[in-house]
Copies of this chain bind each other. A is one copy, B any other.
Amino acid sequence: MTTINDIAKMANVSRTTVSRALNNSGYVSEDVRKKIMSIVEETGYMPSVSAKSLRTKRSGVIGIILPRISTETASRLVNGINDVLSKQGFQILLTDTELQKDKEIEYIRLLKSRQVDGIILSATNINDELLQTIQDVDLPFVSLGQDFPGVTSVVYDDYAASVDVTNMLIQKGYDKIAFIGVGEEDPSVGYERKQAYLQTMAKHDLPVQDHWVETGDFSIESGYEGMKRILQNHDAQPNAVFAVTDRMAIGAMEYLKEQGYKIPEDVAVTGIGASVMSKYVSPSLTTVDYFNKEAGEEAARALLGQLQGKNTSKKIKNSYRLILRDSV
């Protein structure tokens, strides 16, 4: 391994000067600079990041905590984050909690010990311990998808989007709308979307049967099972179902098709997420585009802002768009 000392020797200067030339800090005469640079070029020298980081307390690495690494949403987020960050010379350190919430805390600590310069967290829940940990690490921090009090957060307008979906369904004449959600410990996906549905139904004086409201776990399978349980009760069958994620909506569609229900004639279906799949299932799925990639970019930009000292906790609400397709 060639080090800064080797370069210094070869160029007949001190390593101080080499460092200055490399980092464009302080004065270095043109001649010397050129000489150094050409030697760097020749040798393919690259500064040791650990030495640099030990000295400067900055690593050039941003930690990202995701609930699931292998989902379309995660991919898009990472894509957006990476686009913005890599342009500024930052690298990404990815961690995957696999939906275990104690891991969120564990990874925040781990990333801190890895000297990351900042953290972007896509959480599936909010709790005091987590909040406390975020305070403790005292690092530039952005929450993505959940609104953490006192923490810069890039959020989706879950409530408004779900109101829009429900209203759209109602306007199209559906009056018996079922719902497949996720657990309410997830404020954004679990709580907000459900409240929006419930309150919009109430606003229109549309009754909601108890057995119309089901809870899944983000998986296609759980959408299938949820739909099954909803239709088990033959008395009061819904004529539409609002699933809070595309995957669960697609699971619901599977069950409906299997049972010979026509979509949307017998039961209309909607999702959220605008997955690629939603476009290619039959019938194509009405859904909401959350612009995940843009949200990732937003989060990265917010983090960059904090890195440059603008230390105000901000709330950024990303936009969304209803995509009307054949399942309604």
- Contact of A70 with B59 at beta-carbon distance under 8 Å, contacts A54-B54, A92-B93 already known: no
- Contact of A49 with B113 at beta-carbon distance under 8 Å, contacts A92-B94, A277-B277 already known: yes
Interface presence of A53 (CB below 8 A)? yes
Closest 10 CB pairs between A and B?
Answer: A46-B113, A70-B75, A282-B282, A50-B53, A50-B54, A50-B50, A70-B79, A277-B277, A280-B281, A49-B114
Which of B50, B51, B113, B280 makes the CB contact (< 8 A) with A47? B113
The CA of A276 and the CA of B280, in the complex, are separated in Å by 11
Interface presence of A301 (CB below 8 A)? no
Instruction: List residues of A (220-235) whose CB comes within 8 Å of B's CBs.
Output: 220
- Contact of A82 with B54 at beta-carbon distance under 8 Å, contacts A109-B46, A277-B276 already known: no
Interface presence of A250 (CB below 8 A)? yes
Which of B70, B78, B112, B277 makes the CB contact (< 8 A) with A280? B277
Can you list, as one digit per residue, whether each of A22-63 has a CB less than 8 Å from chain B (1) or not (0)? 000000000000000000000010111111011000010100
Task: Work out how many copies of this chain go into the complex.
Answer: 2
Interface presence of A91 (CB below 8 A)? yes
Chain B residue at smallest Cβ distance from A75: B70
Q: Hey, which chain B residues are within 8 Å of A126, CB to CB?
A: none
Interface presence of A311 (CB below 8 A)? no
Instruction: List residues of A (91-127) whose CB comes within 8 Å of B's CBs.
Output: 91-96, 109, 112-115
Q: Hey, which chain B residues are within 8 Å of A74, CB to CB?
A: 75
The CA of A79 and the CA of B69, in the complex, are separated in Å by 7
Nearest chain B CB to A239's CB is how many angstroms away? Answer: 22
Interface presence of A76 (CB below 8 A)? yes
Interface presence of A71 (CB below 8 A)? yes
- Contact of A69 with B78 at beta-carbon distance under 8 Å, contacts A50-B53, A51-B54, A277-B280 already known: yes
Complex contact A93–B96 (CB within 8 A):
no
The CA of A276 and the CA of B221, in the complex, are separated in Å by 12
Interface presence of A254 (CB below 8 A)? yes
The CA of A95 and the CA of B95, in the complex, are separated in Å by 14
The CA of A113 and the CA of B46, in the complex, are separated in Å by 6
Q: Hey, which chain B residues are within 8 Å of A276, CB to CB?
A: 220, 277
Q: Hey, which chain B residues are within 8 Å of A75, CB to CB?
A: 69-71, 74-75
Q: List 30 A-B contacts (CB under 8 A).
A: A44-B136, A46-B113, A47-B113, A48-B54, A48-B113, A48-B115, A49-B50, A49-B113, A50-B53, A50-B54, A50-B59, A50-B115, A54-B54, A69-B75, A69-B78, A70-B75, A70-B79, A71-B75, A74-B75, A79-B96, A82-B94, A91-B95, A91-B114, A92-B94, A94-B94, A250-B280, A253-B280, A276-B277, A277-B280, A282-B282
Chain B residue at smallest Cβ distance from A53: B50
Complex contact B109–A82 (CB within 8 A):
no
